[in-house]
Amino acid sequence: MSNFKYIKNKNINRLKWDNCVSSSINYRVYALSWYLDVVCENWDAIVFDEYEAVFPVIYKKFFFRKFVYHPLFCQQLGLFYKSSFISKINEDLISNFHEKILFKFFKKFSYCATSEFSRILGFDQNKVTKQNSNNRKFNNVIYSSNNNFLIDLDKNYEDLILKFNNNTKRNLNKSQQFQLKYIDNLEIDFFIKLFRTNSKIRKSIKNFFFFNNNYLIVEKLINISIEKKRGYLVGVLDPDNNLVSAAFFLNCHNRYTMLFNVTRPNSRHFHSMTFLINYFIKLNCKQKKFLDFEGSNIPGVKTFYAGFGGLNHQYYKVQKKFD
């Protein structure tokens, strides 16, 4: 196995860290140091071969014990690696990483790997226990598959809209019967107000760590991303100029990630989120980028995202519990 070091946060070479993440085969914005600083209270690093591969260790302390967890607002993390490291990436390395490296420091861990590992993890059928259609247990580590839909935007808009399913096309036609207005550069106060009042969003984060602080993290993440010219906050107004839908897109590397989106519950008849996504696709087509919907396993949301013609790039949640 390659040489590795466990490095405390204060000793991480952030220039080398960000260089590794930015030039990695499986780049995701979530692993950049500035992003982790916003969403994580504590994070350290496992570094291979002088920052040829890196793994962010996000942890919590409970009763003098540490465990690795996966934070909110970071869909996929895990091991990020440069092309120079790719020959070392295989099922055995990942298994040894979990059993001999990560387990050495933490007896319990949970994180979501990038979708690239779905192709690496072929799972030796002599070693795997299939618990259900989504979960597999391999060498005492549980792998749970999750959905994530991406659209390749490097096409003409007319070709992209042909991939919309009939329901999405029907809802888009309905939305165009109203005098909806797409707005760029939405003020963050309007977005946060709508975001805070949405009961489904509140429910999704209420049982997570530091619930009262999570909205502040959302606000800080949007502000910093916009300052770095890496984010777009957009919205849709109804005929009375009320904000009915809004979304925040991260623009990093080769993808636009729809990190946050919200619709006013009593305004769903406008189909304003369908209107918003379609407008965004129209504005950003013919680019060598993907539109990343960030999900979902929720049946209704999965159906909604799939309706825009994207492909499902599944990724794994990786868990090791106390023996």
Residues 70, 82: contact at Cβ < 8 Å?
no
pLDDT at 76: 96
**For residue 295, what are its two tokens?**
């999900």
Q: How far is it, in rounded angstroms, from Cα 307 to Cα 165?
A: 5
Counted residue by residue, the chain has a size of: 323
pLDDT at 126: 43
Q: Choose among 254, 252, 314: nearest CA to 114.
A: 314
DSSP summary character for residue 170: H
pLDDT at 125: 41
Structural domains of the chain in order of their starting residue, each with its CATH number: 4-146+315-320 (3.40.630), 149-294 (3.40.630.30)
- Count CB neighbours of 65 within 10 A: 12
Greatest C-alpha distance within the chain: 62
Write out pLDDT tens, residues 136-148: 777 678 889 999 9
| Strand, helix or coil for residue 258 | strand
pLDDT at 212: 57
pLDDT at 101: 86
Along the chain (323 residues), what's the average pLDDT of each consecutive run of 10 residues?
A: 87 98 96 96 94 94 78 94 88 81 83 84 50 67 92 98 98 96 95 84 57 81 95 96 97 94 92 98 97 94 96 91 62
Write out pLDDT tens, residues 55-106: 999 998 777 777 788 899 999 999 999 999 988 887 778 878 888 888 888 8
Radius of gyration of the chain (CA): 20
